[in-house]
């Protein structure tokens, strides 16, 4: 019932839903207006020839990142319920026999449920767009990997967002934080500017940001097959370079992160942040 | 005593918000806790409702210690707070269902608790509307319904009618009194409206964290205020006499007999008691 409350409060607050999707809407607007064309030109220059379906490949890469962004921004939007309760003191909850731990778990679960619904919705929209643009749907194994990416992306985003929310006391402060995150996350996920075009130091920051791995997982499932077709006639190192430049995979020296390495990064990050949250709550006796 | 408080203290640094307060409230009684803003009322209520830790002293509710057995205390109490605590975006029924679940109610028990609360607070017409769209009086009814979901033994009413129009205040009070009569629950009231406290079984007046007076409304009126006799003579002279009791007027009236154009006796009220106590005036008797 408490989780249902959190879901209802998020979805009935249209402004909250809108602002939690603002970063996503900005990404779509930028893509439609100019980023899509810009990235297509970059790709054509790299390929050295004009191939079919370049637009679909770029959409898959960019919108794959957008799905990962949704898991963070919608999680941020829905955790505002806990901040609002914190600000108003939620006296009716605290004078009831329900344990503080149960209330806290309801915020975590509610926020994760909202993020899962929104991320799945974003993923469906992206798949529809890809198919309508001439692309193909992933096979059953691909869908299983998309589901894995969605779950891990949501859990990892939720773990980080929940940890941060423990240190924010007011809705206005959290709104400011959400705006900053919403602005930065497009860069951190390599959506506005391909990761390969950042200076080396910035590239390392991006590669070490855990949620970028969620974007990488979505990109691999959505774009890898089409990239293989597109780069069929090109030398393999050109494809490798392209995948790194656009954040489909990351290289750490000689090591290249694949789907399951990124999954491991998300699992470890999720565990670390949930554990840290539990420790903070225990120290505060929440 | 259903509430028993002994030497309760709460300090914030050097500030003593509650300073050695002791009182008791009998089971099934209407107990009023009065004081000016900042007197220590809310601090005391927050301690008794387990929202705030005390600095020292003891407090028991329904026989349970508020510090060592807070869960037991929470099962016994319902609280109507000064401010709205329900979610504006949820309907009254949704709000009540969420709050009923906090008391372990599920399925048909939860539904019947919500239905019952809606019925006894007379909200059938608007229980499906969002809380944020209700009028002040309707919201207050919903707040009271929330506090009654688990049929508490003790209901805290923290300034329950502040900001409401006189008719709504009257309706809310009629509802509270009916509920108290039918369920026999103890009611702990804080209010700025002295007429609301007039029907209390017991009143405590707190000032600057300390108890200034404790007794029934009649006892307090007898000790801390007086009746006033006003006589206008035939010659236009205006005479006022403070009276310890109303019958003390008789010899004075007798004295002016034959020279009285108009006579009036104004009874002391709880407002007078409150003002005399909180403005530092001494016992009038």
Domain that holds residue A241: 2-284
**B99/A88 touch (CB, cutoff 8 Å), yes or no:** no
Nearest by CB: B50 against A1, A8, A95: A95
pLDDT mean over A20-34: 78
Closest residue, chain A, to B83 (C-alpha): A88
**A95/B98 touch (CB, cutoff 8 Å), yes or no:** no
Predicted confidence (pLDDT) at residue A99 exceeds the cutoff of 80: yes
Residues of chain B contacting A91 with CB distance shorter than 8 Å: 49, 51, 79, 81, 85
**A2/B101 touch (CB, cutoff 8 Å), yes or no:** yes
Nearest by CB: B79 against A88, A95, A98: A95
Residues of chain B contacting A13 with CB distance shorter than 8 Å: 89
What is the per-residue pLDDT for B284? 43
Return d(Cα A217, Cα A212) in angstroms, integer.
9
Q: How many residues does chain A have?
A: 286
What is the per-residue pLDDT for B184? 84
Tokens of A12: 């009935």
The segments of chain B whose pLDDT lies below 50 read 281-285
> For residue B50, is it left (φ>0), alpha (ψ between -120 and 50) or beta?
left
**A95/B146 touch (CB, cutoff 8 Å), yes or no:** no
Return d(Cα B8, Cα B18) in angstroms, integer.
7
What is the per-residue pLDDT for B280? 62
Q: How far is CA B1 from CA A38, A229, B108, B186, in A?
A: 79, 83, 35, 10
Decide if B190 contacts B203 (C-beta within 8 A).
Answer: no
Q: How open is the CA angle B181-B182-B185, to the nearest 5 degrees?
A: 70
Class of domain B3-218: alpha beta
Across the A:B interface, residue pairs with CB atoms under 8 Å apart total: 59
**B71/A97 touch (CB, cutoff 8 Å), yes or no:** yes
pLDDT mean over A213-231: 86
Tokens of A52: 């079919």
Range of weakest confidence among A38-42, A93-97, A215-219, A277-281: A38-42
Beta strand B238-243 with B77-80 is: unpaired
- Domain total in chain A: 1
Predicted confidence (pLDDT) at residue A286 exceeds the cutoff of 50: no
Count of C-beta atoms within a 10 Å radius of residue A271: 13
Beta strand B186-190 with B64-65 is: unpaired
- What is the band of A48 on the pLDDT scale with cuts at 50, 70, 90? low
Is B14 exposed, middle or buried (CB count within 10 Å of its CB: 0-12, 13-18, 19+)?
Answer: exposed
What is the per-residue pLDDT for A151? 95
A284 strand-pairing partners? none
| Closest approach of A180 to chain B, Cα-based (Å) | 27
Residues of chain B contacting A284 with CB distance shorter than 8 Å: none
**B98/A2 touch (CB, cutoff 8 Å), yes or no:** yes
**A94/B51 touch (CB, cutoff 8 Å), yes or no:** yes
Return d(Cα A261, Cα A247) in angstroms, integer.
14
What would the pLDDT profile of A117-139 be if each residue is shown by its tens digit? 989 988 888 888 888 888 888 88
Decide if A139 contacts A221 (C-beta within 8 A).
Answer: no
Choose among B105, B233, B227: nearest CA to A1.
Answer: B105
What would the pLDDT profile of A246-282 be if each residue is shown by its tens digit? 888 888 877 888 889 999 999 999 999 999 998 888 8
- Maximum distance among all Cα pairs of chain B, rounded to whole angstroms: 78
What is the per-residue pLDDT for A285? 63
| Closest approach of B285 to chain A, Cα-based (Å) | 42
Beta strand B64-65 with B56-61 is: antiparallel
Phi, psi (deg, nearest 5) at residue B193: -95, 105
Which residues fall within 8 angstroms of residue B189, CB to CB, at 6 or more apart?
B30, B31, B32, B33, B157, B160, B196, B197, B200
What is the per-residue pLDDT for B285? 41
Return d(Cα B260, Cα B254) in angstroms, integer.
10
Nearest by CB: B146 against A12, A88, A92: A92
A197 or B98: which leads in pLDDT: B98
Chain B contacts to A (CB-CB under 8 A): 49-51, 71, 74-75, 77, 79, 81, 83, 85-87, 89-90, 94, 97-99, 101-104, 110, 146
- Angle between the A2-12 and A54-78 helix axes, to the nearest 10 degrees? 120
What is the per-residue pLDDT for A50? 56
Handedness of CA B146, B152, B158, B163 (dihedral sign): positive
Nearest by CB: A1 against B77, B79, B98: B98
Nearest by CB: B98 against A5, A89, A94: A5
Which residues fall within 8 angstroms of residue A163, CB to CB, at 6 or more apart?
A273, A274, A276, A277, A280
Nearest by CB: B49 against A2, A13, A95: A95
| Closest approach of B109 to chain A, Cα-based (Å) | 14
Count of C-beta atoms within a 10 Å radius of residue A73: 25
Nearest by CB: B75 against A9, A94, A97: A97
Q: Can you tell me the ipTM of this complex? A: 0.77
Residues of chain B contacting A8 with CB distance shorter than 8 Å: 89-90, 94
Residues of chain A contacting B89 with CB distance shorter than 8 Å: 8-9, 12-13
Helix (H) or strand (E) holding A275, with range, is helix A259-284
Residues of chain A contacting B79 with CB distance shorter than 8 Å: 91-92, 95
Percent residues over pLDDT 70 in chain A: 97
What would the pLDDT profile of A143-193 be if each residue is shown by its tens digit? 999 999 999 999 999 999 999 988 888 888 888 888 888 778 888 888 888
Q: How far is CA A91 from CA A105, A253, B45, B165, B201, in A?
A: 18, 53, 12, 25, 28
What would the pLDDT profile of A70-79 be if each residue is shown by its tens digit? 888 888 888 8
Count of C-beta atoms within a 10 Å radius of residue A44: 13
Choose among B9, B13, B12: nearest CA to B21.
Answer: B9
Residues of chain B contacting A88 with CB distance shorter than 8 Å: 83, 85
Domain locations along chain B: 3-218, 226-267
Tokens of B264: 């009036």
For B192-221, give the DSSP string: S-HHHHTT-SEEEEEETTEEEEEE-HHHHH
What is the per-residue pLDDT for A52? 64
Is B255 exposed, middle or buried (CB count within 10 Å of its CB: 0-12, 13-18, 19+)?
Answer: exposed
Return d(Cα B82, Cα B67) in angstroms, integer.
24
What would the pLDDT profile of B25-63 be if each residue is shown by its tens digit? 998 889 999 888 888 888 999 999 998 999 999 999 999
**B81/A92 touch (CB, cutoff 8 Å), yes or no:** yes
**B85/A88 touch (CB, cutoff 8 Å), yes or no:** yes
Which residues fall within 8 angstroms of residue B43, CB to CB, at 6 or more apart?
B10, B17, B18, B52, B209
């Amino acid at each position: 019932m408490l989780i249902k409350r959190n879901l209802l409060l998020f979805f009935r607050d249209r402004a909250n839903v809108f602002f939690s999707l603002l970063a996503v809407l900005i990404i779509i607007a930028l893509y439609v207006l100019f980023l899509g064309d810009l990235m297509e030109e970059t790709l054509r220059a790299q390929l050295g020839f004009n191939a079919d379906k370049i637009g679909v490949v770029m959409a898959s890469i960019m919108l794959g990142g957008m799905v990962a962004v949704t898991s963070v921004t919608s999680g941020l939007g829905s955790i505002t319920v806990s901040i609002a309760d914190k600000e108003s003191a939620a006296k009716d909850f605290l004078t009831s026999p329900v344990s503080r731990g149960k209330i806290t778990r309801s915020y975590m679960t509610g926020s994760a449920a909202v993020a899962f619904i929104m991320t799945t919705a974003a993923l469906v929209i992206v798949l529809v767009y890809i198919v309508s643009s001439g692309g193909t749907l992933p096979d059953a194994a691909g869908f299983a990997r998309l589901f894995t990416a969605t779950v891990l992306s949501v859990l990892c985003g939720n773990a980080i967002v929940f940890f941060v929310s423990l240190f924010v006391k007011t809705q206005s402060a959290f709104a400011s934080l959400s705006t900053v995150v919403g602005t930065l996350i497009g860069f951190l996920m390599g959506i506005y500017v391909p990761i390969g075009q950042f200076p080396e130091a910035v590239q390392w920051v991006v590669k070490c940001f855990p949620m970028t791995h969620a974007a990488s997982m979505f990109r691999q499932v959505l774009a890898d097959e089409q990239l293989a077709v597109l780069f069929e006639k090109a030398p393999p190192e050109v494809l490798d370079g392209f995948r790194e430049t656009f954040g489909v995979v990351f290289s750490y020296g000689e090591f290249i992160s694949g789907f399951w390495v990124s999954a491991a990064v998300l699992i470890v990050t999720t565990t670390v942040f949930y554990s840290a949250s539990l420790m903070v709550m225990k120290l505060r006796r929440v | 005593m259903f509430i028993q408080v002994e030497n309760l203290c709460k300090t914030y640094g050097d500030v003593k918000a509650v300073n050695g307060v002791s009182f008791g409230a009998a089971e099934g009684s209407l107990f009023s806790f009065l004081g000016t803003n900042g007197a220590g009322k809310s601090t005391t209520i927050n301690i008794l409702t387990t929202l705030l830790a005390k600095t020292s002293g003891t407090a028991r509710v329904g026989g349970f210690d508020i510090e060592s057995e807070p869960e037991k205390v929470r099962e016994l109490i319902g609280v109507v707070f000064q401010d709205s605590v329900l979610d504006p975006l949820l309907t009254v029924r949704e709000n009540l269902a969420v709050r009923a679940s906090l008391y372990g109610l599920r399925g048909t028990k939860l539904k019947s608790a919500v239905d019952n609360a809606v019925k006894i607070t007379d909200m059938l017409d608007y229980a499906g509307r969002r809380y944020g769209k209700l009028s002040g009086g309707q919201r207050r009814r919903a707040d009271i319904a929330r506090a009654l979901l688990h049929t508490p033994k003790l209901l805290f009413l923290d300034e329950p009618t502040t900001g409401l129009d006189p008719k709504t205040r009257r309706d809310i009070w009629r509802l509270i009194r009916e509920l108290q009569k039918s369920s026999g629950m103890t009611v702990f009231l804080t209010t700025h409206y002295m007429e609301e406290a007039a029907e209390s079984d017991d009143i405590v007046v707190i000032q600057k964290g300390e108890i200034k007076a404790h007794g029934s409304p009649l006892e307090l009126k007898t000790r801390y205020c007086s009746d006033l006799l006003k006589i206008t003579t035939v010659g236009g002279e205006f005479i006022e006499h403070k009276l310890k009791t109303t019958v003390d007027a008789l010899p004075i009236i007798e004295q002016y007999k034959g020279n009285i154009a108009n006579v009036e006796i104004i009874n002391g009220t709880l407002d007078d008691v409150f003002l005399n106590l909180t403005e530092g005036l001494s016992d009038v008797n």
